[in-house]
Amino acid sequence: MIKKIKTFCVLFALVLGVWTINSCKKKEKELDEELFELAQETAGFVWYKNSSSLLSKSNGSGHPQTFLRTRYNAAAATKLDANGKITANTIFPEGALIVKELYENSTNVSRYAILYKKSDSPSADTKGWVWGYIDANGKVAEPASNKGKACISCHNQSDNIDYMLMNKYFP
C-alpha cells in the first residue's frame, strides 16, 4: 500500500510539473502575442518629432536594420514636448507603449522593438517595462520573459531617458 501511495505521489508530482511548465509557456506566448498585436496597431499614436518619416540607423544603434521610426501611444505621448521629443527626466507612465519599427529597406517593416510599461507583469524589468522584439511576421526574436536582457545594456547608456535613446541619437 505504501509503495502505491509513493508511486501515486511521484506521478502526481510529474503531472503537476508538466502542467506548470506548459502553463508558463502559454503565458509567455500570450504576452509575446499581445505585444505583437499592440505593435501592429497604429491608430492614436504620435511619431517621434511628429514625423512618420524613416530615420537612418544611428551609429549608436545595436539594431542591424537600416531604417527606423518610433511611435508613442496616448499614455507615452503625454511625455513628449510640442516638437514630439521626449521631455528631459521623463519617467513614462503605466500603460505607455513605445514601438520602434525597424526596416531592412525603405518600404517594409522587418521587426518591432516594443517597450510596454506594465509593472504588474511577471515579465516586467525593475523599471516596469516589458520588452518585445518581434519580427514583422510574428516570430518572436527575443521573448518578453527575458526582461530585455539583450537590450538593456545598450538602452541603459548615458543620456537615456527611461531607457529611451531617441533624443540622444536624433536630437
Task: Tell whether the model's pLDDT for residue 4 goes beyond 70.
Answer: no
CATH code, domain with 155 = 3.50.70
What is the total count of domains within the chain? 1
Q: How many whole angstroms separate alpha carbon 94 and alpha carbon 117?
A: 5
> What is 36-101 written as a DSSP string?
HHHHH--TT-EEGGG----EEPPTT-----SEEEEEE-HHHHTTB-TTSPBPTT--PPTT-EEEEE
Per-residue confidence band for 17, with pLDDT thresholds at 50, 70 and 90: very low
Any domain includes 68: yes
Any domain includes 9: no
Q: What is the pLDDT of residue 6?
A: 62
Any domain includes 87: yes
Task: Tell whether the model's pLDDT for residue 102 goes beyond 50.
Answer: yes
Which 3 state secondary structure label does DSSP give 53?
coil
Per the structure, the complete domain to which residue 142 belongs is given by 39-169
Per-residue confidence band for 60, with pLDDT thresholds at 50, 70 and 90: confident
Q: What is the pLDDT of residue 8?
A: 53
Q: What is the pLDDT of residue 159?
A: 95
Any domain includes 20: no
Q: What is the pLDDT of residue 22?
A: 46
Q: Which residue has the higher pLDDT, 59 or 96?
A: 96
Any domain includes 1: no
Task: Tell whether the model's pLDDT for residue 77 goes beyond 50.
Answer: yes
| CA 27 vs CA 15, 20, 45: distances in Å | 18, 11, 27
Any domain includes 144: yes
Chain mean pLDDT for the chain: 89
Q: How many whole angstroms separate alpha carbon 132 and alpha carbon 30?
A: 12
Any domain includes 74: yes
Any domain includes 53: yes
